Structure 1
Amino acid sequence: MKELFYGCLKPLIRFGFYCYYQRLRMVDMDRVPRDKPAMLLPNHQNALLDPLIVAALAKARRPYFLTRSDVFTGGFLQNILESLRMIPIYRIRDGRDTLHRNEEIFDRCADLLNQGEHLLLFPEANHNLGRRVRTLSKGFTRIAINALEKYPETDLQLIPVGINFQRGADFPDRVTYRFGHPLPAAAYVKGVDFNEDSKAMKAAVSASLKVLTTHVPEDQDYEQTMERLGGLQPDFSNPDPINAWFENPDTAVPKLPLKKGLLWKLWDVIFKVVNLPLVAIWKVWVKPKVWEPEFMSTFRFGFALITAPIYLILLGVLFGIFTGWITGIAVPAGVFLHNILYIKLR
Structure 2
Amino acid sequence: MIQKVWFTFIWSTIKCGLFFYSKKITILGKENIPKKGAVLFAVNHPNGLLDPLYVTTTNKRQNHFLVRAASFKHPFIKKILVSLYLMPIYRIRDGVQQLSNNQEIFEKCHAILKKKETLMIFPEGSHNKKRTVRSLSKGFVRIVFGALEKYEDLEVTVIPVGITYQHTSHYPAKVTVNYGKPIATRALYESHPLAKSIRILKEEVYEQLKVLSVHISDDQEYERILQQLNKAQIDFTEVNKTNKMIQTNRFPVAKPPKKNYLKPLLYLIKLNSILPYLIWKKISKNIDEVEFIDTFRFSINLFLCILFYGIQALIISRYFGSTLGLFYLAISALIIIIYVKLTPTNAKEHAALV
Is the Cα–Cα contact under 8 Å of residues 48 and 127 in structure 2 kept in the other structure? yes
Q: What corresponds to 2:46 in structure 1?
A: 45
Q: Distance in 2 between matches of 1:267 and 1:121?
A: 38
Q: What corresponds to 1:22 in structure 2?
A: 23
Q: Distance in 1 between matches of 2:183 and 2:317?
A: 58
CA 1:165 to 1:97, structure 2 compared with 1: closer, same or farther past 3 Å? same
Aligned residues: 342
Is the Cα–Cα contact under 8 Å of residues 159 and 183 in structure 1 kept in the other structure? yes
Give the 3-state SS of the residue equivalent to 1:99 in structure 2. helix
CA 1:337 to 1:192, structure 2 compared with 1: closer, same or farther past 3 Å? closer
CA 1:113 to 1:325, structure 2 compared with 1: closer, same or farther past 3 Å? closer
1:208-227 pair list within 5 angstroms: 208-219=208-219, 221-227=221-227
Q: What corresponds to 1:69 in structure 2?
A: 69
Seq. identity, %: 33
Q: Distance in 1 between matches of 2:325 and 2:104?
A: 55
1:147-162 pair list within 5 angstroms: 147-162=147-162
> Cα deviations across residues 212-251 of structure 1 (Å, max 9, x unaligned)?
0000024552122111110111111111111111121336
Letter in 1 for 2:38: P
Is the Cα–Cα contact under 8 Å of residues 22 and 172 in structure 1 kept in the other structure? yes
Structure 1 unaligned residues grouped into runs of 5+: none
CA 1:257 to 1:5, structure 2 compared with 1: closer, same or farther past 3 Å? farther
Is the Cα–Cα contact under 8 Å of residues 6 and 83 in structure 1 kept in the other structure? yes
Q: Distance in 1 between matches of 2:334 and 2:102?
A: 48
Q: What corresponds to 1:266 in structure 2?
A: 264
Point out the more displaced range, 303-312 or 89-98: 89-98
Deviation, structure 1 residue 39:
0.6
Q: Verify: 1:279 aligned to 2:277, yes or no.
A: yes
Is the Cα–Cα contact under 8 Å of residues 235 and 256 in structure 1 kept in the other structure? no
Is the Cα–Cα contact under 8 Å of residues 132 and 216 in structure 2 kept in the other structure? yes
Is the Cα–Cα contact under 8 Å of residues 234 and 256 in structure 1 kept in the other structure? no
1:290 to 287, 294, 316: 287
TM-score, normalization by structure 1: 0.90
CA 1:286 to 1:72, structure 2 compared with 1: closer, same or farther past 3 Å? closer
Q: Distance in 2 between matches of 1:47 and 1:208?
A: 21
Is the Cα–Cα contact under 8 Å of residues 280 and 301 in structure 2 kept in the other structure? no
Query: Superposition RMSD on alpha carbons, in Å?
Result: 2.4
Give the 3-state SS of the residue equivalent to 1:57 in structure 2. coil
Q: What corresponds to 2:33 in structure 1?
A: 32
Deviation, structure 1 residue 193:
4.4
Q: Distance in 2 between matches of 1:224 and 1:15?
A: 38
CA 1:80 to 1:336, structure 2 compared with 1: closer, same or farther past 3 Å? same
Structure 2 unaligned residues grouped into runs of 5+: 344-354
Give the 3-state SS of the residue equivalent to 1:40 in structure 2. strand
Q: Distance in 2 between matches of 1:293 and 1:93?
A: 19
TM-score, normalization by structure 2: 0.88
Q: What corresponds to 2:298 in structure 1?
A: 301
Q: What corresponds to 2:11 in structure 1?
A: 10
Point out the more displaced range, 158-167 or 265-274: 265-274
Give the 3-state SS of the residue equivalent to 2:48 in structure 1. coil
Q: Distance in 1 between matches of 2:88 and 2:125?
A: 13
> Cα deviations across residues 153-211 of structure 1 (Å, max 9, x unaligned)?
32211100010111110001111100001011234335764433222111110000000
Q: What corresponds to 2:330 in structure 1?
A: 333
Q: Distance in 1 between matches of 2:168 and 2:205?
A: 23
